[in-house]
Amino acid sequence: MQPFCSLPAGSALKPVPGDRGLPVIGHTLSFMNRPIDFMRERYDKYGPVSWSSVFGLHMVQMLGPDANQFVMLNRDELFSNHQGWDYFIGKFFHRGIMLLDFDEHRWHRRIMQQAFNRDVLRGYLARMGPHIATGLRPWASTRRFKALPALKQLTLDLATDVFMGYELGTQADAINHAFVDTVRAGTAIIRAPVPGLRWKKGLQGRKVLEDFFRKELPNKRASQESDLFSVLCHARTEEGHQFSDDDVINHMIFLMMAAHDTTTITLSTLFYHLAKNPDWQQRLREESRALGKDCIDYDDLASLEGITLCMKEALRLCAPVPSLPRRTVRDVSYNGYFIPAGTFINVVPYFTHYMEEYWPEPERFDPERFSEARREDKVHPYAWVPFGGGAHKCIGLHFAEMQVKAILHQVLLNYRWDVPQGYEMPLDTTSLPVPADGLPVRLRRV
Ligand code: HEM
């Protein structure tokens, strides 16, 4: 064990325990390739607060619901989002709202909130229904169907309409690649622009996206439509605050990323578990049939109870944003430990969701654990945190619920799907967690 730092003279606090790991790469490979086992080992060895070297940084892991609450609520403004996320994705998503802090963040969030109020959400959902129907049609004739690429394509097509208000046409591939590259760049091990590697591709991706949004911006300023791009151009607080052109571009790039991969991951996790649990799949199908309509409306959302339970369980089993980085802006004392200003911190929803201390049989797909009769998530307000918490809590969580329900509803009405007996989905956790094999399923029309 190596102490993280020396203590201030006369301090009654303890130094954070931990160890660096291997020379140069530290614990990066374990952190990326087997995050839950790695965190469990650290937790069992050192407790909820420990340090290790990952991605070239000395990072303090603060594990478990209490630590989540302390860091995410951030009551005394001890933790900077900007300084945490900037190291990983700042080059690709700079000035995205998640990378802003404190007063400046609040200023942007108040404007952005208008793009996510109930009436605006209603408008987005109305746009989605017909696009989903069109997007699902070719699935039936796809040979060797894989859920991940199909869902990714569908959510991207939806985003281009709901977010931007038009079809991308021939530009679709370039924009899709640009997104994939910018997202993957965040977890590059070689953090320098070496041609062909993640970092460089991420920079190129950002440039493609910036040019695209800047070119389209004057049209959006001039018209007033119901898509998100247009809403952001016109959003105005009561005090008259509005986004500049640069703000709109930075927020659009961030929002497309924040919405796209997270929703795709949630849907593929649902696809997997519903394939393995045909009783649940059928229960949800019957619930959808009972609605008696092809496309759901906003007021139907609450009645799709089965999907609500399954979605919560999918988000528990595979948190699309597995860990949240922060950096201390002042010295912090937590649980008797001294954490100096300038320390990288990591809170880990992914690990929290597998802690058997809070979740009975954490590996098991058991949506009923969220039912009113059981409410296992109530064991601690920060035990189930797929959307984070505090000032930076996901602004798109209702959007995500709406989109997942709208898609799954139509999939259930049109298809049934399964996987071979004994199939276990391999997860690639080197960036955001996705099925490593694309999740091949056998799809049939119902
Ligand atoms: C299942 C889907 C989603 C999950 C699991 C998810 C998860 C998260 C998490 C964990 C955070 C907090 C990050 C932090 O504290 O550092 C966050 C923030 C954010 N999310 Fe989501 N998200 C999802 C969908 C969406 C969608 C659909 C949108 C937009 C349409 C969106 C937009 C945002 C934005 C803008 C932030 C930053 C908020 C702020 O800093 O004030 N997310 N999300």
Taken in order 358, 364, 365, 366, is the CA torsion positive or negative? negative
Protein residue closest via CA to atom 17 of ligand 1: 394
Summarised one tens digit per residue, pLDDT across range 318-367 is 999 999 999 999 999 999 999 999 999 999 999 999 999 999 999 999 99
- CATH (domain of 393): 1.10.630.10
Give a yes or no: residue 389 inside a domain.
yes
When pLDDT is averaged across residues 60-81 and rounded to a whole number, the result is: 98
> 257 CA to middle of ligand 1, Å?
9
**Does ipTM come in above 0.95?**
yes
Give a yes or no: residue 31 inside a domain.
no
Summarised one tens digit per residue, pLDDT across range 267-279 is 999 999 999 999 9
When pLDDT is averaged across residues 60-76 and rounded to a whole number, the result is: 98
Give a yes or no: residue 147 inside a domain.
yes
Pocket test for ligand 1, best of 104, 262, 346 (most atoms within 8 A of CB): 262
Q: What are residue 285's phi and psi, to 5 degrees?
A: -65, -45
Protein residue closest via CA to atom 18 of ligand 1: 394
Residues 6+ apart with CB under 8 A from 339: 4, 16, 49, 60, 328, 331, 332, 333, 345
Copy the structure tokens of residue 134. Answer: 């069109």
Give a yes or no: residue 357 inside a domain.
no
DSSP-derived 3-state class of residue 146: strand
Instruction: State yes or no: pLDDT of 169 exceeds 90.
Output: no
Give a yes or no: residue 404 inside a domain.
yes
Give a yes or no: residue 82 inside a domain.
no
Pocket test for ligand 1, best of 394, 404, 434 (most atoms within 8 A of CB): 394
- Quick one: pLDDT band at residue 182, thresholds 50, 70, 90? confident
Instruction: State yes or no: pLDDT of 179 exceeds 90.
Output: no
Rg (CA), the chain: 22
> 98 CA to middle of ligand 1, Å?
8
Q: Are 51 and 15 in contact (CB under 8 A)?
A: no
> 184 CA to middle of ligand 1, Å?
17
Q: Give DSSP secondary structure letters for 241-277.
A: -B--HHHHHHHHHHHHHHHHHHHHHHHHHHHHHHHH-
Give a yes or no: residue 39 inside a domain.
no
Protein residue closest via CA to atom 40 of ligand 1: 98
Most confident of 51-60, 255-264, 276-285: 276-285
311 lines ligand 1 (CB under 6 A): no
Task: Give the number of the atom of ligand 1 that is nearest the alpha carbon of residue 254.
Answer: 35
Task: Give the number of the atom of ligand 1 that is nearest the alpha carbon of residue 325.
Answer: 16
Q: How many domains does the chain have?
A: 1
Instruction: State yes or no: pLDDT of 168 exceeds 70.
Output: no
Structural domain containing residue 223:
101-323+364-445
When pLDDT is averaged across residues 118-136 and rounded to a whole number, the result is: 94
433 lines ligand 1 (CB under 6 A): no
Binding-site residues from annotation for heme: 394
Instruction: State yes or no: pLDDT of 12 exceeds 80.
Output: yes
Binding-site residues from annotation: 394
Give a yes or no: residue 72 inside a domain.
no
Give the pLDDT of residue 161.
Answer: 81
Q: Give DSSP secondary structure letters for 318-372.
A: S-SS--EEEEESS-EEETTEEE-TT-EEEE-HHHHTT-TTTSSSTTS--GGGGST
Task: Give the number of the atom of ligand 1 that is nearest the alpha carbon of residue 265.
Answer: 1
- Quick one: pLDDT band at residue 312, thresholds 50, 70, 90? very high
